[in-house]
């Protein structure tokens, strides 16, 4: 049986921590920051978001981890 290929789109968007959690960057931080209020900008630029526990196993399978 052939090996499973890594999902290239997901590989570019997430990273796996040492403890096995999947982190990703929040959307909306690319441009047009002047029209967003300070509270919203802080939320976007804060530490990377952690994927929900129910979605993590599926993501790890797609990443072949």
- Residue-wise pLDDT for 9-48, tens only, equals 999 999 999 999 999 988 888 899 999 999 999 988 887 8
Question: What gap in Å lies between CA 48 and CA 21, rounded to an integer?
Answer: 11
H/E element, 9 = helix 8-13
* Distance spanning both ends of the chain, measured CA to CA: 18
pTM flag (> 0.85): no
H/E element, 57 = helix 56-62
Query: Considering its fold, how many domains does the chain have in total?
Result: 1
Residue 52 lies in a domain: yes
Residue 55 lies in a domain: yes
CATH number for 46: 4.10.410.60
Question: What is the pLDDT, as a whole number, of residue 5?
Answer: 94
Residue 15 lies in a domain: yes
Please give the residue range of the domain that contains residue 19: 8-62
Q: Are 7 and 61 in contact (CB under 8 A)?
A: no
């Amino acid at each position: 049986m052939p090996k499973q290929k890594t999902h290239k789109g997901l590989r570019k968007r997430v990273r796996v921590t040492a403890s096995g959690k999947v982190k990703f960057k929040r959307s909306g931080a690319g441009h047009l920051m002047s029209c967003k209020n300070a509270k919203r900008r802080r939320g976007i630029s804060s530490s990377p978001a952690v994927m929900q526990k129910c979605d993590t196993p599926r993501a790890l399978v797609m990443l072949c981890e």
